[in-house]
């Protein structure tokens, strides 16, 4: 129904272009020819009257000079300048009307008369030196003008008809390509943006056709861009929903310990995440992970890896075996080329010891010692989860075991803080970030995270983050 309504909107009533063009040309030419015919008729009438007057004057004067009636009758018969029904004067053939006379020439006058006999009607009496010479019917003098008027009307009508025919042919040659273009535009308006014009008429019409083709190309590109944008927006929405699901769950840390974290997503939607898992025996697993790829694929891989890590670490008896199982599951389920790096901390609060595993994570674990105030890095060997089906991962993975003294702090992060750029394009880098951590290490966890976040934002100076920012802090209080 909507398409039918749109199609009807593309059609208008009234005369078509060829009909309007033909009618306009014909009417305009009719007006011009009527005016020209009127002027021509007026001019030729005046000329014919002048010639008639001169001819009649000369004839009457010649007749008046004739010696006898026989000669006069011969002149009337033979003189080709006279109307065919002119006759020599006979007294009883007419009756003079009125007393006025019109001077036609030297000694020649013309009077109005009423003719007698079978024909009757009005006529003219010509006299020479007051002597009647010639009588002519009035109708005979109008025949020439009527014939001339008919000729002018005939020529005018012929010209108008010929012009109308030419206008009809020309308008058809112009309107047919335009009608084809209109049909092409209708086809494009129905949504067939791949349709192209079929007119190749040359000149402005072909230029118009090319313009319509370029318009269709632009519309097709715009439609493709709009569809792509809609897909990307939907992907961003899905990725944002998945990323929101990746936010760490709230947890109560073991007695004597303090745990805190921040996760700031970047404009580049990805699957980086951090989380904590409480084990049934009182231990606590903490991990920070980075995912290769971005958008929906990265977010889905992140969600999958988080689920596997939470599942295996929640029942973990051996950290290396738990990560090996996660690697096998992830390698089976994600496509080739996708992987997840992980920095895992397994805290035993009863023994105040932690096990640390690094599965290809680029940024080492930072350890701030309360005893000497120094900042040290801890980065065991290992390759990323999902990168290898199993044997290489298991052989390369190593576990580091360290003890925590009161006041010792561990800080895990991803590459987000290190690659934060200033307006000049300068990255924050490892060394400056490490100095910032050392500067805030003695503060509370909240103040540490707030200070680091503020320092990173100050360095970026309004520039958007190029990668997600994840920070996870663990400190032994007593």
**Among candidate residues 145, 163, 197, the one where a domain is terminated:** 145
DSSP one-letter string for 274-325: EEEEE-TTS-EEEEEEEESS-HHHHHHHHHHHHHHHHHHHHT-S-HHHHHHH
Of 116, 145, 174, at which residue does a domain stop?
Answer: 145
In a domain, 182, yes or no: no
Looking at the fold, whether 260 and 141 belong to one and the same domain comes out as no
How much is the pLDDT for 214? 82
Q: Does residue 7 lie within any of the structural domains? A: no
158 or 7, higher pLDDT: 158
Q: What percent of the chain has pLDDT over 70?
A: 78
The residue ranking higher by pLDDT, 319 or 114, is: 319
Could you tell me if 449 and 311 lie in one domain? yes
Same domain, 307 and 448: yes
- Residues 206-251 pLDDT 10s: 777 778 778 878 877 887 888 888 877 777 677 666 666 666 777 7
Can you tell me the distance from the alpha carbon of 369 to that of 442, in angstroms, rounded to the nearest whole number? 10
Q: How confident is the model at residue 74 (pLDDT cuts 50, 70, 90)?
A: low
Residue 181 domain-assigned? no
Q: 158 near 37, Cβ under 8 Å?
A: no
Average of per-residue pLDDT values in the chain: 81
Question: Are residues 446 and 308 both part of a single domain?
Answer: yes
> Residue 306, Cα to own-chain centre: how many angstroms?
45
pTM of the model: 0.58
**Confidence class of residue 92 from pLDDT cuts 50, 70 and 90?**
very low
Question: Contact at 8 Å (CB) between 404 and 346?
Answer: no
Query: Residue 18: which pLDDT band, with cuts at 50, 70 and 90?
Result: low
The owner of tokens 């033909």 is 22
Q: Structural domain of residue 290, as residue ranges? A: 247-476
Quick one: average pLDDT of 324-343? 92
Per DSSP, the residues of 88-134 read E--GGGEEE-SS--EEEETTEEEEEEEE-TTT-SEEEEEEETTEEEE
> 165: closest CA among 335, 29, 59?
29
Pick from 121, 145, 169: which residue ends a domain?
145
pLDDT tens for each residue of 47-70: 777 777 777 777 777 766 664 455
- Select the more confidently predicted residue: 353 or 76: 353
Q: Is 117 left (phi over 0), alpha (psi -120 to 50) or beta?
A: left
Q: pLDDT at position 88, please?
A: 47
Tell me the pLDDT tens digit for each residue of 162-177.
877 877 777 666 667 7
pLDDT tens per residue across span 356-401: 999 999 999 999 999 999 999 999 999 999 988 889 999 999 999 9
| Domain total in the chain | 2
Lowest mean pLDDT among 87-101, 147-161, 184-198: 87-101
Q: Is the pLDDT of residue 75 over 80?
A: no
């Amino acid at each position: 129904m909507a398409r039918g309504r749109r199609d009807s909107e593309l059609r208008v009533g009234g005369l078509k272009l060829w009909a309007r063009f033909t009618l306009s040309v014909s009417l305009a030419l009719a007006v011009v020819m009527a005016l020209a015919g009127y002027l021509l008729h007026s001019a030729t009438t005046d000329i014919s009257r002048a010639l008639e007057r001169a001819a009649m004057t000369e004839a009457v004067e010649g007749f008046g000079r004739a010696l006898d009636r026989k000669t006069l009758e011969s002149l009337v018969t033979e003189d080709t300048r006279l109307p065919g029904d002119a006759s020599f004067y006979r007294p009883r053939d007419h009756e003079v009307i009125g007393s006025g006379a019109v001077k036609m020439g030297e000694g020649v006058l013309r009077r109005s008369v009423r003719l007698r006999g079978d024909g009757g009607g009005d006529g003219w009496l010509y006299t020479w030196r007051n002597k009647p010479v010639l009588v002519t019917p009035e109708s005979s003098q109008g025949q020439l003008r009527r014939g001339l008027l008919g000729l002018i009307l005939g020529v005018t009508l012929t010209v108008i008809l010929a012009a109308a025919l030419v206008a009809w042919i020309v308008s058809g040659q112009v309107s047919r390509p335009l009608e084809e273009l209109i049909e092409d535009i209708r086809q494009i308006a129905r949504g067939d943006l791949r349709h192209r014009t079929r007119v190749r008429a040359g000149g402005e019409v072909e230029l118009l056709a090319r313009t319509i083709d370029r318009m269709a190309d632009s519309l097709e590109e715009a439609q493709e861009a709009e569809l792509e944008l809609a897909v990307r927006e939907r992907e961003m929405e899905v990725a944002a929903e998945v990323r929101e699901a990746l936010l760490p769950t709230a947890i109560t840390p073991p007695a004597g310990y303090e745990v805190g974290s921040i996760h700031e997503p970047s404009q580049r939607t990805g699957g980086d995440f951090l989380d904590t898992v409480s084990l049934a025996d009182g231990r606590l697993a903490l991990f920070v992970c980075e995912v290769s790829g971005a958008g929906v694929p990265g977010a889905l891989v992140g969600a999958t890896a988080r689920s596997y890590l939470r599942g295996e670490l929640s029942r973990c008896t051996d950290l290396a075996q738990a990560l090996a199982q996660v690697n096998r599951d992830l390698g089976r389920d994600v496509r080739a080329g996708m992987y997840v790096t992980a920095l895992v901390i397994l805290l035993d609060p009863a023994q105040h010891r932690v096990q640390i595993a690094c599965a290809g994570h680029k940024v080492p674990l930072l350890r701030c010692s309360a005893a000497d105030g120094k900042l040290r890095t801890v980065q065991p060997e290992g390759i990323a989860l999902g990168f290898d089906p199993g044997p290489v991962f298991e052989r390369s993975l190593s576990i580091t075991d360290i003890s925590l003294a009161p006041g010792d702090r561990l800080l895990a992060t991803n590459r987000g803080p290190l690659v934060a750029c200033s307006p000049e394009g300068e990255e924050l880098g490892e060394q400056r970030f490490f100095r910032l951590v050392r500067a805030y290490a003695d503060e509370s966890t909240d103040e540490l995270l707030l200070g680091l976040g503020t320092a990173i934002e100050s360095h970026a100076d309004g520039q958007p983050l190029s990668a997600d920012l994840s920070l996870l802090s663990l400190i032994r209080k007593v």
